[in-house]
Structure 1
Amino acid sequence: MSHNVFANNNEICAKSASGTSNLAIDTCFSPGAPMPGVPVPYMNTCKAGDITKGSRTVFIKGMEVCLEDKSYFSTSYGDEAATKGLKRGTVSTSVQGKCRFIGWSPNVFIEGLAVTRHLDMVTHNHNSPANTPPTYYMSSQDTKTKCKEDQDRIAKRCAADSKKNMKGKGVPTGKQDKADKAHEWVTDHCGPLLAKPGEDFENWYKEFGDTGKLMQQAASQLKNEVIAKMEKEVTEYATKTVVKMAARRGLTGWIPVVGWVLTAVDVAVTGYEVATTVSTMKDELADLKKTVEQLKKESQNVTKVLDKYKDELKNYGNLDKKRQGEVAREVMAGVQGAYGAANPCLRARKCSLIPYNKTTAANNWAGKGCCPGQTGHHLMPDAMFRNGDKAVQNSAFDKWKTSYKGEKPLEDLKIADMPRDKKPTAKCWDKYKEGPAPTICLEGSDNTSGSHGVMHAATAKAVKPFQAKPEMDYTKARSLLAHEISVAYGCDVKCLEAQLDESYCKMYTCGNPGDDCEKKLKDAKVVPHSGMPNGGPTSTDGDL
């Protein structure tokens, strides 16, 4: 169970906790020909009870605390089937290796070292280097249980691309060195999302201007070759009750490789190879068929965007700088939104919410946040947790201006110029901060373009029926917006709700502190706001 000792609103990691870091993608060589074995992605777990080299003088419930660059989990679990007789981890050459934190508190220290916390990043199965992408440390059993299926899907769809189709392709000018150091999932799966809309457009367009055609080609080959072959194998397996699937006879040899679009297909087939029941194989087929339909739909969206701007794209060099920027942003946002919706890995990753302060450029390139070209969008807009009363806002604004040191003249400043965390919070949300609040990785650099714009529009539609009053139930707003993401990307609503509750429970200051999050948030209220200008309730006139 949790031990309820916190740093920066997140529970401190200690040996006394029941926390685990779950379901990191740990690809290891496993029994099967040819040698050194078949690469299989395992669900890897490390447990707080295995913490080693923790604090020596300060304890939580009598047990050591985990500290930066010193402490580690002595072992990990889940990849035992790979066996130590083979090459083991594809990167670390390790099985049941250590787990290490790669993030910690910026300002809370024990024995001179920063403490590590719930939601800090962990890498798994270490020898040197780590063999898995980082995952957030979660101490809530409720969240882990409700998110298991979504995390299983992330592990399967976002494993390393053995063919390295994307390695270095489309990396923006000046980012090549960073890309070599970035976590593999970024260069393996982000594709056209390695750049922000408008960034390095001409080089980006040379690499990804044929995105729509590639998606159409991928959909066709996936349907006519991969799925057709798998359906035949399923029938044979069901009728002959073969102990080991016919897929063992070199299944990967016929997988079509269509650039970066089908990066995740190998992983899907790997899961198919190790399946032991017909129902598992049928689930895999159903998932791939959904991918086909998504590829078809999004390829049409790409075509629409490119058709809209085709004349200006042909004459791009002769456009004035302002128009070049507008065209670049719109084309990139459209293509990126389609890719983010169609790519199996990025669709799956949208189900795992990320703290806003983890979506900086540095974190993204390090593989700790979103794709470098994505934006962290607060699923529940920041404005939902701000006080919309005009008088309260003006008071906070006047106070902020006294310490303002920017270049803009004081007389030209507006409330919109205030940093978000300088704005007053709504009742009972005294601990709310923009940075730790959960976001979803979307496409589009502003709140009007790409999937980012689509989500803001969906939010506005969802909260509109409640805007006659200044408040609405937190649970209602949470469930409505989680439903929007579930419909768009296939996420489990209960998983999204659990992640939101786990984050906002720590920021809510009313209710009984001893209650669990479900009880604590039952009566919580938020502002029915879309996050857009003038997107708040009609009963207030504040400018959030």
Structure 2
Amino acid sequence: MASDTTNGTRTIKITGKEAMLKNKSYFKTSTGDEAGCAPKKGVVTSKIKGKVYYTAWSMDVKFEGENVVRHMDLMTHNHASMPGNTPTWPYLDEMAVSKEEGPCKDDIKKEKEACKEFTPHKADGPSPCPPDGKPSTKDEADAYADKTAAKECLRARRCQLSPYAPTGKQPGCCPGQTGHHVVEAGSFYNVGRGGSNSTAIEGTANYNADKAPCICVEGCNQYHGTHGLMHTYQSTAALNSGATTQALPLEGGKQTSVVSLTYKQAKTFGVDAVGKSFPESKCEPACLEAQLDAYHNKQGIDDSTQCRSIATGYKGDEAEKAANAAVVARSSRLAAASASAPSGR
């Protein structure tokens, strides 16, 4: 695919070849595992063998005034317009032949196999989602979490992050789930998460909570179900991080005094929380990080960006012990149900 580069650098070459640039360069043809004659073809763009654009790039290195893309940065597939077909895929290029490289390779294959009988992989296929509406109590949230975790497809799909507020044909959560920001949305504001009373921390003005990557969870607030588990694990990690109060500059020239940590720390806490909350999903941490970086890096946020530390929901060491017990209990229920009934996707 690299030999199909279009609109690369003109004056700077690497080993005699042009380099790819942010929002400018693309590959003419996306190939591999095409939808063939299926009428829908690409789920979002209705294309096969469409263009390929990068969705992440270096924040530090620029050629000819544009950010340079890197090996294994995320990219679209069968692109026709923004967004391209979703989910986006890591850049494998020559190594795609052997399928041995790329941070999301295993999670992509796992989801594709587990969900092959469901939409969007099967034309006119059913949804894998349970029919229930959003839970309103703790017991309802726990019951819905059991139902989703019992389905192989939804366990695998948990590893695919999606926007908090999907638009068009972007993927989203089941009707009974809610999106939880793996890097807390409030991290980038002095207060709140982007409302009229919020001011962005300097360097994060392009962040949009509705477009930021989320994991699908169960529970209508930060205390219930798996939603509560994520908050407990992330908040406890933040509290135990040793983060201190600092004066951070805000967009517009003012300052705010908040407990602060870096985006890298917040990202690590979120990824770790996914592993603890959803052990059956077995999400690859490097794949989660790649998806998070693909969005946040594009907004000018990198590992060193200072953020507000967020601690909400049940938090602290005792709360984490209770969360651990809840995860073990759910895993035991799932194992018992699996042993007594045929497994379903």
Q: TM-score range by the shorter chain?
A: 0.5 to 0.7
Aligned to 1:387: 190
Per the normalisation by structure 2, the TM-score is: 0.59
Asked if 1:3 is matched to 2:21, the reply is yes
Deviations 1:45-97 (A, max 9, x none): 745169xxxxxxxxxx9xxxxxxxxxxx9xx9xxxxxxxxxxxxxxxxxxxxx
Aligned to 1:455: 230
Distance 2:201 2:139 in 1: 38
Partners of 1:438 and 1:503 within 8 A in 2: yes
Partners of 1:196 and 1:374 within 8 A in 2: yes
SS at match of 1:377: strand
Q: Within 5 A, what are the aligned runs for 1:74-473?
A: 116-117=81-82, 120-122=83-85, 135-137=86-88, 145-160=102-117, 187-192=126-131, 194-198=132-136, 329-358=137-166, 368-388=171-191, 420=195, 423-466=198-241, 467-469=243-245, 470-473=259-262
Aligned to 2:331: none
Distance 2:215 2:29 in 1: 22
Distance 2:28 2:215 in 1: 23
Aligned to 1:526: 307
Aligned residues: 243
Distance 2:196 2:20 in 1: 29
Deviations 1:424-482 (A, max 9, x none): 11232121111211101111122221111111111111111234332212212212221
Distance 1:504 1:450 in 2: 27
Between Structure 1 and Structure 2, which shows a larger proportion of helix residues?
1
SS at match of 2:215: strand
Partners of 2:231 and 2:313 within 8 A in 1: yes
SS at match of 1:471: strand
SS at match of 2:107: helix
Per the normalisation by structure 1, the TM-score is: 0.39
Give unpaired runs (5+ residues) of structure 1.
6-13, 30-43, 51-60, 62-72, 77-98, 102-115, 123-134, 162-166, 168-181, 199-328, 389-415, 510-520, 536-544
Asked if 1:17 is matched to 2:42, the reply is no
Partners of 1:421 and 1:433 within 8 A in 2: no
Partners of 1:2 and 1:139 within 8 A in 2: no
Distance 1:422 1:448 in 2: 24
Runs of 4+ with >6 A deviation? 19-25
Aligned to 1:486: 275
Distance 2:151 2:307 in 1: 34
Identify if the C-alpha distance between structure 1 residues 335 and 140 changes in structure 2 by more than 3 Å, giving closer, same or farther.
same
Identify if the C-alpha distance between structure 1 residues 190 and 482 changes in structure 2 by more than 3 Å, giving closer, same or farther.
same
Higher relative contact order (CA 8 A, sep 6+): 2
Q: Which has the larger radius of gyration?
A: 1
Partners of 2:35 and 2:48 within 8 A in 1: no
Identify if the C-alpha distance between structure 1 residues 367 and 49 changes in structure 2 by more than 3 Å, giving closer, same or farther.
closer
Give unpaired runs (5+ residues) of structure 2.
1-18, 39-46, 54-63, 65-75, 94-100, 246-258, 317-345
- Please report the RMSD computed on the Cα atoms of aligned residues, expressed in angstroms: 4.0
